[in-house]
Amino acid sequence: MGVRWGIESPHPPTPHPHSRCCCEPTPDCLRRSPLPRRLAIRDPLMNGPFFGRLALIGVGLIGSSIARAARAQKLVGSIVATARSAKTRRRAMELGLADQVVETNAAAVEGADLVIVCIPVGQCGAVAREIAPHLAPGAIVSDVGSVKAQVARDMAPHLPANVHFLPAHPVAGTEYSGPDAGFAELFIGRWCIVTPPERADAVAVERLSGFWSGLGAKVATMSAEHHDLVLAITSHVPHLIAYTIVGTADDLSAVTRSEVLEYSAGGFRDFTRIAASDPTMWRDVFLANKTGVLEMLNRFNRDLAKLAQAIEAADGDTLFDLFTRTRAIRRGIVAIGQDSAAPDFGRSRPTLAPSPVLRPYASEE
Ligand code: NAP
């Protein structure tokens, strides 16, 4: 058996250079909160496959990465997958992502002891209603949505009492979508936040946490509401800012716009990367996390107004103090291994040596 990198491992591997998350809470934030706690779990792999049959509803970036990693780590006996369109299902088959690719969500969950819904959060309620009558008693039903409270409210009422509903959010991603975009190393060294409802079965929580740990993630638990507040500031509002700034640049007159593209500096380029994230996914995130996003956006607007005043008043000290503080935060993130210290955020270039971690399933794109 190979080395496992569960949460108990003292030396989790360096995150894959491509797993540059679009939605990460700062680990400091997670540490300070009274709610999150790390789970002490056993090595799930000691007894062979951790789950007999994994059903993946949706095989885009996240679903296909779970499929690849679960198979690579031998965490499941078999994988059955489905997606909304025939095109994606066909591609999943071509890529060999699952043992079986089926046409409907209902067929996918038949006989599965772990069901993970990997679709845009706005669809989760309807899919829960669709799969509910077909779920095996005792199955764990989870999701990967970037918003937790609304998804739980949408899904829970449809699910039967004899399954364990345990929402989760792997805080790992890229700006790419679809089955070709996934890779087995996506979750290594990243957080997966599980938000179990009150009175959730402890053994089921441990099994799901063990699964994510087996995929390489560090696991934390917290309430869905707390998750949404943390992610609002670490992920959702930053995405909103990126969408805004790139949109503003695009609204400039044509001549200036071409100059913006031509002379785009590192800061703007990084915003364009974030603003290239999937429109459906992010529309759903903002609609589902309205409360958290608006609360953090209000604070952000107040702070931005203060900075504008400082610039207006030529108050260099205020600017300098803030920039010193933010630089320390960046260094802290690098220090705990959540990002690379390489210049330009470690972006790999074709002229550099290839990544040491192979991506055997990734498309040429
Ligand atoms: P994605 O690459 O766009 O894939 C979405 C998948 O869901 C596709 O296979 C799609 O099938 C399928 N799908 C959509 N509606 C469906 C339905 N009603 N029934 C069955 N399948 C359906 O999206 P993703 O990036 O993997 O994101 C999936 C979830 O993960 C979202 O909830 C997102 O919030 C969360 N998440 C994303 C990231 C990230 O960085 N991307 C990170 C963490 C969590 P078709 O292709 O046929 O439409």
Over the stretch 257-297, which tens digit does the pLDDT of each residue have?
777 777 777 778 889 989 999 999 999 999 999 999 999 99
Q: What is the mean pLDDT of residues 19-43?
A: 38
Integer Cα distance of 19 and 41 in angstroms? 25
Site to substitute for ligand 1 among 118, 177, 215, 287, most atoms within 8 A of C-beta: 118
Q: Which residues contact 176 (CB under 8 A, 6 or more apart)?
A: 61
Q: What is the mean pLDDT of residues 308-329?
A: 95
Distance of CA 190 from the midpoint of ligand 1 (Å) = 19
Integer Cα distance of 226 and 32 in angstroms? 12
* Average pLDDT across the chain, whole number: 83
Q: Tell me the per-residue pLDDT of 109-158, one tens digit each, with 9 for 90 and over.
A: 999 999 999 999 999 999 999 999 999 999 999 999 999 999 999 999 99
Distance of CA 62 from the midpoint of ligand 1 (Å) = 7
Ligand 1 atom with the smallest distance to the CA of 174 is 40
Centre a 10 Å sphere on the Cβ of residue 163 and count the other Cβ atoms it contains. 20
- 79 - beta bridge partners? 54
Distance of CA 162 from the midpoint of ligand 1 (Å) = 26
Residue located nearest, by CA, to atom 31 of ligand 1: 120
Ligand 1 atom with the smallest distance to the CA of 277 is 41
**Pocket residues for ligand 1 (CB within 6 Å)?**
22-23, 57-63, 82-85, 88, 105, 118-121, 123, 127, 144-146, 169-170, 173, 177-178, 278, 281, 285
Residue located nearest, by CA, to atom 22 of ligand 1: 84
> What pTM does this model have?
0.83
Q: What is the mean pLDDT of residues 12-19?
A: 38
Residue located nearest, by CA, to atom 14 of ligand 1: 119
- Which one-letter DSSP state was computed for residue 345? G
Distance of CA 304 from the midpoint of ligand 1 (Å) = 33
Q: Tell me the per-residue pLDDT of 40-92, one tens digit each, with 9 for 90 and over.
A: 344 444 544 589 999 999 999 999 999 999 999 999 999 999 999 999 999 99
72, amino acid identity: A
Distance of CA 14 from the midpoint of ligand 1 (Å) = 26
Task: Give SS3 for 191.
Answer: strand
Whether 196 and 205 have beta carbons less than 8 Å apart is answered as yes
How far is the CA of 209 from the CAs of 36, 39, 220, 256, 273, in angstroms?
A: 13, 8, 8, 50, 31
Residue 212 has pLDDT above 80, yes or no: yes
- E strand residue ranges, the chain: 37-38, 51-57, 76-82, 100-101, 114-117, 140-143, 164-165, 168-170, 191-194, 218-221
Whether 121 and 58 have beta carbons less than 8 Å apart is answered as no
